[in-house]
Chain A
Amino acid sequence: MRSDRFEVFVDMRTQIAVPPVPLARIRTAAARSNAGVRPRRAGFIASLIAGAGVVVVTVGAGVWSEARILFPSSGGVKIVSDYTEFSMLPPPVEKVQAAVRAANFPVILPSGFPGSDRPTRMATFGKRAIYAIYLGYKIRDARPRSGIAFILSRADAMDSAQHPNGVVDAPFGGSFFTGTPPGGHRIIWKIGGESVLVLRGTATSAELSAIHRAMLAQAPR
């Protein structure tokens, strides 16, 4: 129930002079954030994924039109792409499916986990199409930064001979990080037309074998 005092506040609210809506600026800002990349977050994304031993470098459009996966001599893994999307939250099933549909390679999603097959993290790389997908999963009750992660890509995306190993133009402030996957192991599987880089983490050999078998048994989506 409203009191008279309450009316004073409401009255004050209506007395606030409102400037005109800057619709053009709002539209432009919205379009810019949709089209690009979220420059302010580039370093943040890189640091998050770096925790799993992966480096994301977002480079300017026109420098690279797709994603490349590099193995720098300093260690870790580096993904070079013109566009990166990363979510800290477990991605909804629809988002994973959308990424699979937008991928330019026949995607076979990791499966055969001892627990849930739902990823807890996802990043996609590539602007016009998705050239690589990073997926993180929990193994049992793994703590953050453990579990297992996969980088799915077209088989030729991991051909490190074709891309630069030094200076990469990073106009949006993408940072370089180095690291080693938790557990210190990485494995590459070829499954159909897909390359699967496995950042083993806390998965046991038996669990890895089960995942590999389950993926081989799948048809591409």
Chain B
Amino acid sequence: MIDLPVEQIEAARAGDPSDIDRLIETIWPDAYRLARAILGESHAAEDAAQDACVIVYRTISSLREAAAFRVWLYRIVVRAASEIKRRRARREPEIVDVATSSDESIRIDVWRALATLPPGLRTIIVLRYFEELSSREIAAVLRIPDGTVRFQLMIGRRRLRPLLAETPPPSFLSTDEVKFNAI
């Protein structure tokens, strides 16, 4: 979840390259993880995160207020990821990296389940459950009505539920906790 000190954002907005470098280094892991969750593939995620960071690097000084940074950054990463997805969809089938963890099959199943969602729905699910954004924040990031986000979340949960129903619980969770509709 992207959360930076206002001072760091303000310093980067002032335009000093070393401050912008520091900001990029700070946001890179979040940008990459978000792109990775949306795209499901590490190389594409790296490209998307890099494109997003280039945009941040170029335009941070035009950001009107530091308080808007979080939503602004999410929006840039989501757009960069969508653009990469659109470009790649033309020439190759989707690749989903599932081996993110060696021991927990639930993670693999969640990645696979996410990959079955259409891109827009997947983005909303990722922003809600990976990034812990509220529906209102997601609405701000995607510039769509809050009600639409809530509706899409309901659809997403409904679509994921059967796919995850058979998922064995990881060792640190009870069976009840794995039911997707508990979200």
Contacts and interface: CB of A to CB of B under 8 A. Distances in A.
Q: How many B residues touch the partner, as a band?
A: 35 or more
Interface string A1-32: 01111101110110111110111011101100
Interface string A61-105: 000000000000000000000000000000000000000000000
B50 A9 contact: no
A22 to B, nearest CB: 6
Nearest to B54: A29
Nearest to A18: B29
Contacts of A17: 100
Interface string B116-134: 0000000000000111100
Contacts of A30: 54, 57-58
Interface stretch (B69-77, B138-146, B147-155, B174-182): B174-182
B28 A18 contact: yes
A34 interface: yes
Given A22-B50, A23-B21, A30-B57, A10 B28 contact: no
B129 A26 contact: no
Contacts of B110: 8-9, 12
A33 B54 contact: yes
A27 B106 contact: no
Given A18-B32, A21-B24, A27 B57 contact: yes
A16 B177 contact: no
B100 A26 contact: no
Contact of A23 (B24, B106, B180): B24
B173 interface: yes
Interface in B1-55: 17, 21, 24-25, 28-29, 32-33, 36-37, 42, 46, 50, 53-54
Given A12-B100, A22-B50, A26-B53, A5 B179 contact: yes
Interface of B: 17, 21, 24-25, 28-29, 32-33, 36-37, 42, 46, 50, 53-54, 57-58, 100-101, 106-107, 110-111, 129-132, 170, 173, 177-180, 182-183
28 contacts: A4-B173, A4-B177, A5-B177, A5-B179, A6-B129, A8-B110, A8-B170, A8-B173, A8-B177, A8-B178, A9-B130, A10-B130, A12-B111, A12-B130, A13-B37, A13-B130, A18-B29, A18-B32, A19-B32, A21-B25, A22-B46, A23-B21, A25-B50, A26-B50, A27-B17, A29-B57, A30-B54, A30-B58
Given A12-B110, A21-B28, 14 more contacts: A4-B182, A5-B177, A5-B179, A8-B178, A9-B130, A12-B101, A13-B33, A16-B37, A18-B28, A19-B46, A26-B24, A26-B50, A30-B54, A30-B57
